Structure 1
Amino acid sequence: MGAYRLLLAILVAVSHMGKTFAGLNPGVVAVISFLIISGFVMTSLIERNYKAPQKIGLFYMDRALRLYPQFLFYFLASCAVIYCLLPGTPQAAELTLGNIAASLTMVPLGFYMFGLAGPLILPPAWSLGLEMCFYLVIPFLLIYKARGVAFVLSVAVFMTACLGFLNTDVYGYRLLPGVLFMFLCGSYLYKPQAKGLAIAAGTAVVAALMFAAIEAGLIERRPFNAEVTAGIALGIPAVYVLTKLKFHRVDEFLGDISYGVFLNHFVVMYFLRAFWPVAYDAHIVAAVLILSFGLSCVSYYSIERPALKLRHALRAGARFSVGKRRGGEKVA
């Protein structure tokens, strides 16, 4: 899935440079696939390493080691670029101690629409706040077998938002109650049984029908409801197919740099804006992406890889302690 994750990161970057496809924001479509992938990967991670109440804290440590190293690097880099090169801009106005402190804890970024953090410092990072909210609940949903109830409640919130009874953008795309079922579709794809596969497939079909209804004008088009439904309809089968492919080192490398590209493209855009405040034509888009790839390679090998070793040690310790406990039970 590495190449797919990099493609998604590119689509997010391109969307932030004002590009659309057939009137749709490609970044929103891509984010939905990221949510589905996250549901799949987190389920795999918990089932293999952390599926016990006493291991939930270790799971949170694992996730912090995954998200924070590169996030902190690029967030602080963005602060520096804005402060030095973009004074007097809306981005510079957000460089307050309160915004920076809240953003560094990550979770408030997912609630930026309520004024809890500054979204313009590193705009893509709002979705990391959403990810963190998912990480907080997914161990409990798996351990206590509550996915089904959570799925139904989340679909109810999403439908209410999609049809305009709640803010469509906030509750149908940004906040966990309305998108949890998208994460859970990915969760159901991990070692899928008939019921889980039927839930995921049925969700994709319904989403495709809703997208068609929105495009036909049968459902009113509201902020991102077309993109979200398209993302669900495309993302679920794509993730299902890609999880069946064999491991390949090139694919792994492309996946390794995808997170950096997702985070750093705005840092590059801010930097270039200070010197060449021009429209994002094909040459500027290509320049942003090339610089973003290069930075991501550097940050992955210098920042992410050391943290990866700690995560692997953490997981090995979790498996060892579980095996030791089970061994003790057998002896008893």
Structure 2
Amino acid sequence: MGAFRLLLAVLVAISHMGVTVWGFNPGVVAVVSFLIISGFVMTSLIERNYNAPTQFPLFYLDRVLRLYPQFLLYFVSSCAVIYFLLPGTPQAAALTVENIATSLPIVPLGFYMFGITVPEILPAGWSLGLEMCFYLLIPFLLVYRLRGVAFAASVAVFLSATLGYLNTDVYGYRLLPGVLFIFLCGSYLYRMRARAGVIVATTAIAAALLFLAIVTGWIARRPFNAEVTLGIALGIPAVFLLSKLKYHRIDELLGNISYGVFLNHFVVMYVLRAFWPVAYDATIINSVLLLSFTFSGLSYYFVERPALKLRHFLRAGGGRSILPHLHNTTAA
């Protein structure tokens, strides 16, 4: 799924440069597929490596080592670019000690709508906050067999938001209660059995029908409800089909740079805005993507790969030797 993940990162990037497709925001559609992929991959990771409550701390450490190295690199880079090149902008106003301190743990970024953080330093980071909330919960849902209850509760919240009874953008796209079932669709796709197959197929069909109802006016179009339902309808079959493909080195290479592209395109946009404050035409968009790919390749090789070795060590069982230390630290 590496090439697909890179495509999704590109869709997120161009959406932030004002590109729409037939009036729809492609970045939102892409984020929904990212959630499905995350549910699939986390279920695989936990079942194979962290499938007991005593191993949950190692799973969390694995996730920290996955997200933080490049996040910290590009968050600090964004702070520097904003400070030196974009004074007097809303981004510069976000460079406060308090906002930086609340952004660095990542989780608060997912709750920016409540005023906990100001997301302008690295705007795409809000979805990492959402991911972190999912990581905190998913081991318990799997080990204690609570996916079904969580799925049903999340669908109820999502439908309430999609129909306008709750804030559609917040509860139908950005917060875990309304999108947990999307993550869990990916979870069910891993080692899919009959009941799981019925759940994800029904969800995809229902999402497609909701999308049609929204675009035809039967259901009022509200912020991103069309894009989210479209993302579910397209993302579930895409992840299902791509998960059946065999490993390929080129696909892995493309997947390796996807996370960096997702994070760093705003940094590149900020730099270009400082020197060439023009509209995002095709030339500027291609320049942003080319630079983003280049920086992502470098950051993967020099920043993420060292952390990847430690993650492999944890999964191979080496992390069991540090569990007593983690427990003693927690107790202290």
Q: Which residue in 2 is equivalent to 1:22?
A: 22
Q: Which residue in 2 is equivalent to 1:174?
A: 174
User: How many angstroms does 1:197 deviate by?
Assistant: 1.2
- Trace 1:255-294 onto structure 2 (pairs within 5 A): 255-294=255-294
Task: Please give the secondary structure, in 1, of the residue aligned with 2:317.
Answer: helix
Percent sequence identity over aligned pairs: 74
Measured against aligned partners, the alpha-carbon deviations of 1:79-104 in whole angstroms (never above 9, x if no partner) come to 00000000000000000011101110
Q: Which residue in 1 is equivalent to 2:160?
A: 160
Q: Which runs of 5+ in 2 are unaligned?
A: 322-332
Q: Which residue in 1 is equivalent to 2:327?
A: none
Counterpart-to-counterpart distance in 2, 1:52 and 1:205: 34
Counterpart-to-counterpart distance in 2, 1:256 and 1:231: 23
Measured against aligned partners, the alpha-carbon deviations of 1:249-295 in whole angstroms (never above 9, x if no partner) come to 00000000000000000000000000000000000000000000000
Q: Which residue in 2 is equivalent to 1:328?
A: none
Query: Does the CA-based 8 Å contact 2:260-2:296 persist in structure 1?
Result: yes
Q: Which residue in 1 is equivalent to 2:220?
A: 220
Counterpart-to-counterpart distance in 2, 1:210 and 1:40: 24
Q: Which residue in 2 is equivalent to 1:329?
A: none
Counterpart-to-counterpart distance in 2, 1:52 and 1:63: 16
Q: Indicate yes or no: 2:55 matched with 1:55.
A: yes
Counterpart-to-counterpart distance in 2, 1:287 and 1:254: 18
- Letter paired with 2:49: N
User: How many angstroms does 1:118 deviate by?
Assistant: 1.7
User: How many angstroms does 1:317 deviate by?
Assistant: 1.6
Counterpart-to-counterpart distance in 1, 2:113 and 2:77: 23
Task: Please give the secondary structure, in 1, of the residue aligned with 2:117.
Answer: coil
Counterpart-to-counterpart distance in 1, 2:47 and 2:254: 25
TM-score calculated relative to the size of structure 2 = 0.96
User: How many angstroms does 1:19 deviate by?
Assistant: 0.4
Q: Which residue in 2 is equivalent to 1:248?
A: 248
Q: Which runs of 5+ in 1 are unaligned?
A: 322-332
Query: Does the CA-based 8 Å contact 2:313-2:319 persist in structure 1?
Result: no
Q: Which residue in 1 is equivalent to 2:77?
A: 77
- Letter paired with 2:152: V
- Letter paired with 1:37: I
TM-score calculated relative to the size of structure 1 = 0.96
- Letter paired with 1:5: R
User: How many angstroms does 1:192 deviate by?
Assistant: 0.4
Cα RMSD after superposing both structures? 0.9
- Trace 1:107-256 onto structure 2 (pairs within 5 A): 107-256=107-256
- Letter paired with 1:283: T
Query: Does the CA-based 8 Å contact 1:50-1:318 persist in structure 2?
Result: no
Query: Does the CA-based 8 Å contact 2:58-2:319 persist in structure 1?
Result: no
Query: Does the CA-based 8 Å contact 1:55-1:318 persist in structure 2?
Result: no
Q: Which residue in 1 is equivalent to 2:330?
A: none
